[in-house]
Chains A and B, each alone.
Chain A
Amino acid sequence: MARKIGRREFFKTSAQAGLTLALGTGLAAATRAAAPKAKASIVAVGIGGDYEQAAMKAVSLLGGMKKFVPKNARVALLPNVQSRHPGSFTKPQILRAVIRMCKKAGAKEVNCLSWQTVKQWEDTGLKAVIDAEGAGLKIFEKDEALFKPVPIPGGQALMEARILAEFFGHDLLINMPITKDHAGNKFTGTMKNLMGLNSPVNNRTFHRPNWKTDPNDVAHLEQSIVDLNKAVKPVLNVVDATEIIVTNGPFGPGQLMRPEKVVAGTDRVAIDAYCAGLWGLDPKDVIQIKKGAEQGLGQMDLTRVHFREDYA
């Protein structure tokens, strides 16, 4: 019979593996204390038209899902279901791969958490995968009572996040965005995707009246995203860069680009910098990437990142 681990032991294990899951100040401090000296970031890229295999390849290049998901862990997944237009949501094949890898690693429970509608999950085909794979889909009303305040030490624009309370019943988060165009800041990736776990009311505080046009308001939004990423730290990011919209984002329909890549790693800044480059953006021009790097969330200089790429 599998040995059940307590939350304390689980977090210790995660920290020793160089991973971070931090929600709340106490946990964040514990994680920092146990974390080894920073090593060069590793970004893994699985390539190929079979997106499920590409996702599996990317995670295997990092050492496999067992490195991130301990036995009996309760895993929260956060795919993007913003729109059902092609290239605007995380592919069901990638979700299937991640669920299967988590289960194979010994996860006790795998749940997608969301305050989006069931219809969105159905329309994108993600719900069908969740049902078929025996994972859970936990959808919540946009009711503030269902979100838990999380102070953000070091927050510059956002001092407190409000995270889905259900999330705290999970041991770790795997962040699963699709990288794509955004009409406001030109880019969506790992960091912005975490707004899907934060309350819509709190998300609105990111947006000052001219949040897409006034440089000060734009900076406030980008800083808020960076601050949110200080509070919520996925143990792993698996990014859909297979078929993505590079115009008319984030909703689409827009021009499709097909890098046919799944990008995985723990360094959100490095992953986002790599993904931005896929369609010709300079990471320095994406304010959240630049700020994330400046504030220690990760490495923007891709010459300092170790890449592991292979075809699935």
Chain B
Amino acid sequence: MFSASMKVRRASVPAALLTLVLACGAAAAAACQEGSLGAYLPGGASVSGWARDGGPQEYEGENLYTYIDGGADIYQEYGFTRVVIQDYKSAAGKSASLEIFEMSTPAAAFGMFSFKRSGSGKAVQLGFEAELESYYLNFWKGRFLVTLTGFDDARETVDGLLAIGAAVAAKLPGDGREPALVGALPADGLKPGSVKYIKGLLGLNNLYPFYTARGLSFTEAVRGLYDDGTTLLLLDYGSAGSRQEAWSELRAFLEGSERFARVGMEQTEHVLFQDGKGRFVAFGEAETRLIVGVASSATAALLIVSRAP
């Protein structure tokens, strides 16, 4: 498709372009609050050198499956409302695809953004948070998640993604912030871009599968990776009673599972298991939350759990 040796060179947005799109942004945001998502699509001369290629497609609710056959479920789990897709073409024949997902809440938009980002891309100034990978760009703002995909990683293509993204960001309304649970991850040693906000079991299974649904009826969760190689998961159940009940059920499953072995650590208040891949998994409880630490050593797993608030 394209060479692995090609690198993204620059991640800046021309200042003149930003000025232009910011000037028309507020009015457009108000206009599309209840109307078609198509109003957020840059068109005409708003992105220099790039023009719409064909018409937009829109999908709502369950119809997302028509567009993303096999991949729509994760959007639904976070809370999907609708999406508009528009292709763009540059004067030099480069192509880009723009997807604007309207999610049910800002937390859902952030969650889906966090799910899709790799954490190894380049942070750029777009919307509330943006990450540029070699050939695609994700950002979120308010209830919206925006994905721009180029079909190569040439400089002109990547600059086009950034320019189109800036034009969209300027039009989108911008209420909302990261869910509070994200702030509960200890900041010291937390890898930037590694935070994943989770709304259901599908998201969790993609990060750390327990191979069960028992006891995993959390209302929200967050995962962070740390510099020392440990992983911390905070699962929030909404109430201490729900957390207690869920933990009891999950613990019973783990103790009976062939994939997990209980490790005796009498001197600690936490419960420790070892999974089928040899990783140590420590569990702690705090009010509404179940705290899970995963590490290559028992000590590290217990330590990361004890660091959680």
- Is the beta-carbon distance between B211 and A213 smaller than 8 angstroms? no
A211 to B65, CA, bound (A): 14
The digit string for A205-218, where 1 denotes a CB below 8 A from any CB of B, is 00000111111000
Query: How long is the Cα–Cα vector from A186 to B208 in the complex, in angstroms?
Result: 12
Asked whether any CB of chain B lies closer than 8 Å to the CB of A91, the reply is: yes
Contact A213 B205 (CB under 8 A): yes
The answer to whether A249 has its CB under 8 Å from any CB of chain B is yes
Contact present for B212 and A215 (CB under 8 Å):
yes
Identity of the chain B residue whose Cβ is nearest the Cβ of A211 in the assembled complex: B73
Interface positions of B from 97 to 150, Cβ below 8 Å from A: 97, 116, 118, 120, 133-136, 147, 149
CB-CB nearest in chain A for B149 = A253
Q: A184-B202, A255-B118 are in contact. Are A86 and B135 (CB under 8 A)?
A: yes
Q: Within residues 1 to 40 of chain B, which ones have a CB less than 8 A from any CB in chain A?
A: 1-2, 4
* Docked-complex contact B202 and A212, CB < 8 angstroms: yes
In the complex, chain B residues whose CB is within 8 Å of the CB of A214: 201, 213
In the complex the two chains form, what is the Cα distance from A85 to B205 in whole Å?
A: 24
Nearest CB of A to B98, in Å: 12
**Cross-chain contact A184 with B136 (CB below 8 angstroms):** no
Whether B202 pairs with A213 at a CB distance below 8 angstroms is yes
The reply to whether B74 and A183 contact each other, CB–CB distance below 8 Å, is: yes
In the complex, what's the smallest C-beta–C-beta distance from A186 to chain B, in angstroms? Answer: 7
Complexed CA–CA distance, A253 and B147 (Å): 8
Interface residue? B284 (CB, 8 A): no
Describe A's contact surface by its main secondary structure.
loop
Is there contact, CB below 8 Å, between B202 and A86? Answer: no
Are A251 and B68 also in contact (CB < 8 A) when A212-B205, A213-B201, A214-B213 are? yes
Q: Across the interface, which residues of A come within 8 angstroms of B202, CB to CB?
A: 183-184, 212-213
Q: Report the minimal beta-carbon distance from A67 to chain B, rounded to whole angstroms.
A: 30
List the B residue with the shortest CB-CB distance to A217.
B213
Are A183 and B73 in contact, with the CB atoms below 8 A?
Answer: yes
| Interface flags, A192-235, vs B, CB<8A=1, else 0 | 00000000000000000011111100000000000000000000
Known: A212-B73, A247-B118, A249-B71. A91 touches B149 (CB 8 A): no
Contact residues in B for A210 (Cβ distance below 8 Å) = 201, 213
Chain A residues with Cβ below 8 Å from B205 are 212-213
A82 contacts B70, CB within 8 Å?
Answer: yes
Interface string of B159-184 (1 = CB under 8 A from A): 00000000000000000000000000
Q: Are B1 and A91 in contact (CB under 8 A)?
A: yes
Per-residue contact bits, chain B 53-89, to A (CB 8 Å; 1 contact, 0 not): 0000000000000001111011000000000000000
Shortest beta-carbon distance from B104 to chain A in Å? 19
B213–A186 CB distance below 8 A: no
**Chain A hits for B206, CB < 8 A:** 183, 186
A182 within 8 A of B: yes
- A85 and chain B: residue at smallest CB distance: B149
B253 to chain A, nearest CB (A): 10
> What are the residues of chain B within 8 A of A250 when measuring CB–CB?
70-71
**B130 CB to nearest A CB, Å:** 14
Give A210 to B214 CA distance when docked, in angstroms. Answer: 13
Instruction: Judge whether B200 is part of the interface by a CB distance below 8 angstroms.
Output: yes
Assuming the contacts A213-B201, A213-B205, A253-B147, asked whether A184 and B68 have C-beta atoms less than 8 A apart, the reply is no
The answer for the CA separation of A82 and B1 in the assembled complex, in Å, is: 17
B71 CB contact (under 8 Å) in A91, A183, A256: A183
Q: Is the CB of B211 within 8 A of A215?
A: yes
A87: Cβ under 8 A from any B Cβ: yes
Give Cα distance in the complex from A282 to B211, angstroms.
Answer: 15
**Contact between chains at A253 and B136 (CB < 8 Å):** yes
User: A252 near B: Cβ within 8 Å?
Assistant: yes
Which residues of A79-114 are within 8 A (CB) of B?
82-87, 91
Interface 1/0s, chain A 241-260, versus B by CB < 8 A? 00100011111111110100
Identify the A interface with B (CB < 8 A). Answer: 82-87, 91, 182-184, 186, 210-215, 243, 247-256, 258, 282
User: Given contacts A186-B206, A210-B213, A213-B205, could you give 8 more A-B pairs where the C-beta distance is less than 8 Å?
Assistant: A83-B71, A86-B135, A211-B73, A214-B213, A215-B212, A248-B71, A249-B71, A282-B277
